[in-house]
Chain A
């Protein structure tokens, strides 16, 4: 099971749990106006072997540390790929790093998307906004495992056409056999010929056989709530719906207490949860 693999890995890196490894920025690619993808490599050459859904703690010298999901191909782990939106002091500093500069990395941390559950079934990814970044490793994985999946659907919603993350890749995937891509935006000018509306509206239309579908949902919390509900309403079993949650994290390894959501420590028990494990908690006021 995925959790067991993660736990085993964590024990191995348990010594010096708060100590980062030195990585070097090898490439910096602006994505959206406030979003950057960094490609990083370990200075000691040792790859960061991760499973889709896991995250790292990225440390910018003298500024601070933040939890960021890994966005790269799990089969190409010599390069650590992460997409960051500049919203706070640390994420801005991460986005401003240039090629050749160093960054501290702890991880991989947390639970993984249980992708093997989709073998022999339809796989649906429902992503909102920057939520496409933590699900991209699933897409890479699905491309490598297409013959073991009935179909793969990517349902993506974002605010506006200029807010479509990984747009060229999405176009490429939409032209790939076995992959279906649906995109919707909240608002658009007249030159947008695509769909306008919320991502939850697109979910039923893109489902093939709901009872035989495994769904991975990532985006703003409110979008995940309604996205998961839409999947459930369409007939996807609750235990086959998985979400990636987010809370403030200071340590990422279960010691700081910041990322609690009710009984869960999101860094340790998540970030990926099955929907039944968090469904009721997500509607509790200020939990």
Chain B
């Protein structure tokens, strides 16, 4: 369902700075994508001029480079290296400090209001995926919840996919259907550069009201929708059908050993994945041992230590660790949290140092299964 025309306004491209000012006036720090050391990162921005305007990613399996795009759009790029995960689930944080009396008190959560400008639909979906993990189970992670509630989410509908994108096949994009406070469509025609701004929440509505702009006309809304459709059609990758059952049927398929010949077990995919949530805990104690600190930090199922049980690791081989990652993401996640763990952002494809492609591995497994099935019939 698209927002109704009367809730959207059209503002000139220069209105982005006005939006940032409105956010600042309401106490928000503003984060956006920016070019840092040749890569896109997500972090504090001072003005719209910090955005990677006119730049796009040339992404493929195992590589992503920023290059000049064909036009001067603010949001023709797609994804910063890491998504929103860091903002709601820090890579490392202290949970508490405790003395020998064991009277532990949890560290307070610092969660100042944070507006994120230019979030992609896949990253919005990833936030919902993480929320299901940390808030919808028997235990609620209140640290995660406080940080999430401090967020103001300003989405941008994608008009151009990177070659690694496959959100259309995961039903998470390229058009945001909800979960945002504000949503932007960037329209750049010959002599006209505007944003259609829509609200998705009361908080968003209040900010929208503070912006100057014309009510959006049907023509602009139509252009925006057509842009999203074109973006979906332009996606070069897609996740295969029936992947949830496919992976469960093939725990012991020889294909995993074939992937392991390439996989370095480096954990890059889990670090850039916006939904990988696995974590560990660590103790740090004072030199005299009187005070101890307990830290929580990201972990990865690709490390040998991850599955350590008395006597040794359960998953000793790269093959079983890759199978764990992909099967958890695309299949077991449904059992555990009622949805897929993959949002189709394609980061794991681009940032894999050897170019392992989650969509290609699923396709290869499906093809191998089909071939074996046919061979079985012929025999």
Q: Which residues in A have some Cβ–Cβ distance to B below 8 Å?
A: 6-7, 10-11, 13-20, 22-23, 43, 59, 61-65, 87-88, 91, 102-104, 246-248, 250-251, 253-258, 260, 262-265, 268, 284-287
What is the CB-to-nearest-CB distance from A110 to chain B, in angstroms, rounded to a whole number?
10
> Among the listed A61, A65, A247, which residue makes an inter-chain contact with B307, where contact means beta carbons less than 8 Å apart?
A247
B111 at the A interface (CB under 8 A): no
Q: Which residue of A lies closest to B144 (CB)?
A: A255
Bound together, the chains give a CA A64 to CA B142 distance in angstroms of 22
A62 and B292 contacting across the interface, CB-CB below 8 Å: yes
Known: A61-B98, A250-B299, A257-B301. Contact between A268 and B137, CB under 8 A? yes
A246 / chain B contacts, CB cutoff of 8 Å:
309
> Among the listed B138, B142, B278, B319, which residue makes an inter-chain contact with A15, where contact means beta carbons less than 8 Å apart?
B142
> Among the listed B137, B140, B252, B294, which residue makes an inter-chain contact with A284, where contact means beta carbons less than 8 Å apart?
B252
Interface pairs (5), CB distance under 8 Å: A16-B106, A18-B106, A254-B138, A255-B277, A286-B320
A247 and B279 contacting across the interface, CB-CB below 8 Å: no
Q: Which residue of B lies closest to A16 (CB)?
A: B106
Kindly list the 6 A-B residue pairs having the minimum CB-CB distance in the complex, ordered from nearest.
A263-B335, A257-B278, A286-B320, A62-B285, A10-B138, A62-B292
A87 and B283 contacting across the interface, CB-CB below 8 Å: no
B171 at the A interface (CB under 8 A): no
B299 / chain A contacts, CB cutoff of 8 Å:
250, 256-258
A248 and B279 contacting across the interface, CB-CB below 8 Å: no
Bound together, the chains give a CA A263 to CA B333 distance in angstroms of 7
What is the CB-to-nearest-CB distance from A3 to chain B, in angstroms, rounded to a whole number?
10
What is the CB-to-nearest-CB distance from A14 to chain B, in angstroms, rounded to a whole number?
5
A248 and B139 contacting across the interface, CB-CB below 8 Å: no
A19 and B315 contacting across the interface, CB-CB below 8 Å: no
Bound together, the chains give a CA A264 to CA B328 distance in angstroms of 10
A285 and B320 contacting across the interface, CB-CB below 8 Å: yes
B223 at the A interface (CB under 8 A): no
A61 and B280 contacting across the interface, CB-CB below 8 Å: no
Bound together, the chains give a CA A102 to CA B100 distance in angstroms of 7
B281 / chain A contacts, CB cutoff of 8 Å:
18, 64-65, 250-251, 256
B139 and A22 contacting across the interface, CB-CB below 8 Å: no
Q: Which residue of B lies closest to A104 (CB)?
A: B102
8 more CB-based (< 8 A) A-B contacts, given A103-B102, A286-B317, A287-B324: A15-B140, A59-B294, A61-B99, A87-B310, A254-B137, A255-B279, A257-B278, A258-B306
> Among the listed B95, B99, B307, B335, which residue makes an inter-chain contact with A18, where contact means beta carbons less than 8 Å apart?
B95
A19 and B141 contacting across the interface, CB-CB below 8 Å: no
A265 / chain B contacts, CB cutoff of 8 Å:
336
B100 and A256 contacting across the interface, CB-CB below 8 Å: no
Known: A257-B277, A286-B317. Contact between A19 and B96, CB under 8 A? yes
Bound together, the chains give a CA A248 to CA B281 distance in angstroms of 12
> Among the listed A20, A103, A248, which residue makes an inter-chain contact with B309, where contact means beta carbons less than 8 Å apart?
A248
Bound together, the chains give a CA A64 to CA B295 distance in angstroms of 11
A287 and B251 contacting across the interface, CB-CB below 8 Å: yes
> Among the listed A91, A255, A287, which residue makes an inter-chain contact with B134, where contact means beta carbons less than 8 Å apart?
A255
B102 and A61 contacting across the interface, CB-CB below 8 Å: yes
Known: A15-B142, A248-B309. Contact between A62 and B278, CB under 8 A? no
> Among the listed B103, B279, B294, B316, which residue makes an inter-chain contact with A257, where contact means beta carbons less than 8 Å apart?
B279
B104 at the A interface (CB under 8 A): yes
A268 / chain B contacts, CB cutoff of 8 Å:
137-138
B108 at the A interface (CB under 8 A): no
Known: A10-B139, A62-B285, A284-B251. Contact between A262 and B102, CB under 8 A? no
Bound together, the chains give a CA A108 to CA B278 distance in angstroms of 22
Residue of B285, B317, B336 contacting most chain A CB atoms (<10 Å): B336
Bound together, the chains give a CA A24 to CA B335 distance in angstroms of 39
What is the CB-to-nearest-CB distance from B299 to chain A, in angstroms, rounded to a whole number?
7
B103 and A250 contacting across the interface, CB-CB below 8 Å: no
B148 at the A interface (CB under 8 A): no
What is the CB-to-nearest-CB distance from A162 to chain B, in angstroms, rounded to a whole number?
20
> Among the listed B134, B283, B335, which residue makes an inter-chain contact with A62, where contact means beta carbons less than 8 Å apart?
B283
B37 at the A interface (CB under 8 A): no
B142 and A286 contacting across the interface, CB-CB below 8 Å: no
Known: A10-B138, A102-B102, A253-B138. Contact between A18 and B283, CB under 8 A? no
Residue of A19, A61, A65, A251 contacting most chain B CB atoms (<10 Å): A61
Scan B117-143; emit 1 where CB is below 8 A from any A CB, else 0: 000000000000000011001111110
B134 / chain A contacts, CB cutoff of 8 Å:
255
Bound together, the chains give a CA A251 to CA B295 distance in angstroms of 12
What is the CB-to-nearest-CB distance from B150 to chain A, in angstroms, rounded to a whole number?
18
Q: Which residue of A lies closest to B284 (CB)?
A: A62
A260 / chain B contacts, CB cutoff of 8 Å:
324, 328, 332
A251 / chain B contacts, CB cutoff of 8 Å:
279, 281
> Among the listed A10, A88, A256, which residue makes an inter-chain contact with B278, where contact means beta carbons less than 8 Å apart?
A256
A250 and B320 contacting across the interface, CB-CB below 8 Å: no
A103 / chain B contacts, CB cutoff of 8 Å:
102
B314 at the A interface (CB under 8 A): yes
Known: A19-B95, A62-B285, A248-B309. Contact between A43 and B102, CB under 8 A? yes
A263 and B336 contacting across the interface, CB-CB below 8 Å: yes
Bound together, the chains give a CA A104 to CA B105 distance in angstroms of 12
A258 and B252 contacting across the interface, CB-CB below 8 Å: no
> Among the listed A15, A104, A258, A286, which residue makes an inter-chain contact with B280, where contact means beta carbons less than 8 Å apart?
A258
Bound together, the chains give a CA A270 to CA B153 distance in angstroms of 36
A19 and B310 contacting across the interface, CB-CB below 8 Å: no
B332 / chain A contacts, CB cutoff of 8 Å:
260, 262-263
A258 and B278 contacting across the interface, CB-CB below 8 Å: yes
What is the CB-to-nearest-CB distance from B163 to chain A, in angstroms, rounded to a whole number?
30
Q: Which residue of A lies closest to B301 (CB)?
A: A257
What is the CB-to-nearest-CB distance from B76 to chain A, in angstroms, rounded to a whole number?
35
Q: Which residue of B lies closest to A57 (CB)?
A: B281
Bound together, the chains give a CA A248 to CA B104 distance in angstroms of 24
Bound together, the chains give a CA A258 to CA B95 distance in angstroms of 19
Bound together, the chains give a CA A262 to CA B328 distance in angstroms of 8
A102 and B101 contacting across the interface, CB-CB below 8 Å: yes
> Among the listed B141, B283, B317, B324, which residue makes an inter-chain contact with A255, where contact means beta carbons less than 8 Å apart?
B141
A91 / chain B contacts, CB cutoff of 8 Å:
310
